[in-house]
Amino acid sequence: MEKPFIEVTDLTRRYPAAKGGEPLTVFEHANFSIEKGEFVCIIGHSGCGKSTIMNILAGLDAPTEGGIIMGGKEISGPSLDRGVVFQNYSLLPWLSALKNVMFGVRARHPDWSRDQVVAHSEQYLEMVGLTGGAEHRKPAQLSGGMRQRVSIARAFAIQPQLLLLDEPFGALDALTRGTIQDELIRIWSATEQTVFMITHDVDEAILLSDRILLMTNGPFARVAESVVVDIARPRQRAEIIHDPAYYKIRNHLVEFLARRSKELSGSHGREASGGPPLTVRPGLKDPDDKEREPSWPKLVSAVG
């Protein structure tokens, strides 16, 4: 079988003990893979290590044990093949919105003329609705939501193979959020891009993803389940909520977050750790399908 695009193997992140404290194991033995072109969301309670996993994927942090292979190569540092939208925007404060975007575009396309770089960057700023002068303002002169939009434009504009998004829409109002979600899906469907996105919004995760990874609570968090979103695309925000599969998936996610993320955490989770996450398909179209009876053991199977 062909190797997956991204293979995360036994990924573990521990922090040494602070003065007088205990060492901290944020998560251990995270094992999952992502196919080329897949849209994967990861959900888990605050502090379970989602941003840490993303930083390791970005090459900005290193695991204590285990590793990640992307496109046949071990991730060992940052690369223009991976575009990141951070939870806290992290723009260069001395540059205008436009120049923040141009910075990455220029690095990506060193052979382009200045006009080409400007035109390309402006196109992405337009996509996130930053025009009419706002593009010439510095981050301190922009609202939180506007800064987040610059950060999204900057990541998208380098057209990376892998987009890493850390709660990218959290600071946006509902209308902008919807527009940028639609734009993200449009760009993603039109390209070979692979997306790994952190969100705390289960509805957003179902609307956008092919698959949702569920993490148990930290410390000693694990990637416990891989939930398949088998809802046909294109998905319309207003229509998807009438799909029976939608509620099955939603209930499964909410139940995991409310109860099982805790039950599976800590020492109990540790005993069970090490393997790949369980693949779950709560939204199966035909629950009476004889092939899938009896339901529980066959609905859940380990991914290879």
Q: Which of 225, 191, 192 is nearest to 211 (CA)?
A: 225
Minimum distance of ligand ADP from residue 108's CB (angstroms): 27
DSSP code of residue 221: B
CB atoms under 10 Å from CB of 235, counted, come to 15
Q: Which of 150, 257, 165 is nearest to 203 (CA)?
A: 257
Measured CA to CA, the distance from residue 164 to residue 293 in angstroms comes to: 38
Binding pattern for the stretch 3-42 against Mg ion, x by CB under 5 A and - elsewhere: ----------------------------------------
Nearest residue (CB) to ligand ADP, 24 versus 118: 24
Q: Which does 15 bind (CB under 5 to 8 A by kind): Mg ion, ligand ADP, none?
A: ligand ADP
Tokens of 220: 């000693």
Q: How far is the CB of 264 from ligand ADP (least distance, A)?
A: 16
Compare residues 45 and 260 and give the one whose CB is closer to Mg ion. Answer: 45
247 binds, among Mg ion, ligand ADP, none (CB under 5 to 8 A by kind): none
What DSSP designation does 136 have? Answer: G
Query: Torsions phi, psi of 109, nearest 5?
Result: -125, 70
Whole-angstrom Cα distance, residue 48 to residue 43? 9
Residue 52 makes contact with Mg ion by CB under 5 A: no
217 in contact with Mg ion (CB under 5 A)? no
Nearer Cβ to Mg ion (51/148): 51
Q: Closest distance between ligand ADP and the C-beta of residue 44, in Å?
A: 6
Q: Give the binding site for ligand ADP (CB under 6 A).
A: 15, 24, 26, 44, 46-52, 218
CA nearest neighbour of 57 among 121, 108, 6 = 6
Q: Which of 212, 229, 218, 210 is nearest to 283 (CA)?
A: 229
Out of 31, 33, 51, 209, the residue judged to bind Mg ion by CB under 5 A: 51
Nearer to ligand ADP, 26 or 97 (CB): 26
Chain positions contacting Mg ion, by CB under 5 A = 51
